[in-house]
Chains A and B, each alone.
Chain A
Amino acid sequence: MAIDIGPVKKERPKENNIILILPILFLILSFMVYFLIAFLFVPQKNSEIQKLTLEISNLNTASVNSNIKELNTAKVFISDFKILLDNSPKMSKFFESFEAWKHPQIVYSNLKIDSSIRNVSVFGKTTTNRNLMEQIATLKNEQSIESYELSNIVVSETGETSFNISLIIKAGLLR
């Protein structure tokens, strides 16, 4: 019977192996994480960015642009039209109002209207100054008149009365 007299192999303790294996595993894992991020996720994000940028540039289509242009034209036209219309006095309304409050026995002539300052001046003539008094009473109660001013009142011996009257009309009347 032969007897083995060579050197006996010593078994490495297990904790020695773990000390080496664990860091190596972590190192491999770290490299894997790096390669995943660098060669998979980042290129994916880059291609997504390219796709979205292309999508944005394709959104500016000619038909949308022409709609926007048309809307802008409409906006300017309608806005300007409305402003000008709102600021154009309706002078026919003054004549309707004038017919309503003018004294039937006073003859009015030389009517002048300046719509920008809402001023009306007119020359009146009547057979008696009582009519003028009645007219003044009417003007005082007339809602559409802001103020009035009488001037050049001339009363003849026969009682015939002539006068000039200047009125400021309320803005609301001409709208």
Chain B
Amino acid sequence: MEQKQINLLIAGVIVVLIFGVFQYLISPKYQEMIFKNSEIESLQGQIKNINDYYSFTEASFQKLKNAGWETKKDIIGANFTSSPFFFPKAHHLLRNLASQNGLTVSNITNSNPVDILKTQEEYKDLLQGPVKKTTFNLSLLGTQESFKNLLSTIENQARIITVKNISVLPVSTYAGPIPEGFLNFNLSVDLYSY
């Protein structure tokens, strides 16, 4: 065999070896590197999204603070916190509102709190919290003007009081002479809690 032929044979073996190195060593590692690059890109995207979300929450939280949320939270939260003193507090509030407007409360009764989802309210599905509704029935005595003032006061309360039913009737029983212009008012209102 001539030297040239031997060289060609060795060169051929080396070329095959080169293909083998590409196929079985370089190519898998290159694929692995590509995969890791895409993983890095995905993680970087994730970090960017998280940072954007955090910036958004931080800005929103700042806006909330600037809007006086700390004080408003207590006012709004009073509508939704539940406590063992809910009924006495509600009775006290309603009696106070009535007496501040010159009405005498002869009686207050209340229902049990009902999960608003079990009621017929049209808006119930829009609520996000577990809102419960309690109906209070008040029997009041006073003038129509006082009653109108009471309704205005109720509507301007931070605590939401929904007026459901009103009935205005002549005074039927009263100890002593009935003051002029006095009427009996039955007022049915809803208060809310979580």
Chain A residues at the B interface, C-beta cutoff of 8 Å: 12-13, 16, 19-20, 22-24, 26-27, 30-31, 33-34, 37-38, 41-42, 45-46, 48-49, 52-53, 55-56, 59, 64, 67-68, 70-71, 73-81, 83-92, 95, 109-116
Q: Is B89 an interface residue when CB atoms closer than 8 A count as contact? A: no
Could you tell me how many residues of chain B have their Cβ less than 8 Å away from some Cβ of chain A?
Answer: 65
Main secondary structure of the interface of B (DSSP, over half): helix
Question: Given A19-B8, A76-B129, A84–B192 Cβ distance below 8 Å?
Answer: yes
Question: Given A19-B7, A49-B40, A81-B76, A56–B166 Cβ distance below 8 Å?
Answer: no
Across the A-B interface, how many residue pairs have beta carbons closer than 8 Å?
171
Main secondary structure of the interface of A (DSSP, over half): helix
Assess the B26–A34 pair: CB atoms within 8 A: yes
Residues of chain A contacted by B17 (CB below 8 angstroms): 27
Q: Which 10 A-B pairs have the closest CB atoms?
A: A23-B14, A45-B36, A52-B43, A92-B151, A111-B168, A88-B162, A113-B166, A30-B21, A37-B29, A67-B61
Q: Is B100 an interface residue when CB atoms closer than 8 A count as contact? A: no
Residue of A whose beta carbon sits closest to that of B160: A84
Assess the B46–A20 pair: CB atoms within 8 A: no
Chain B residues at the A interface, C-beta cutoff of 8 Å: 3-4, 7-8, 10-11, 14-15, 17-18, 21-22, 25-26, 29-30, 32-33, 36-37, 39-40, 43-44, 46-47, 50-51, 54, 57-58, 60-61, 64, 69, 73, 76-77, 79-80, 121-123, 126-129, 131, 144, 148, 151-152, 155, 160-170, 192
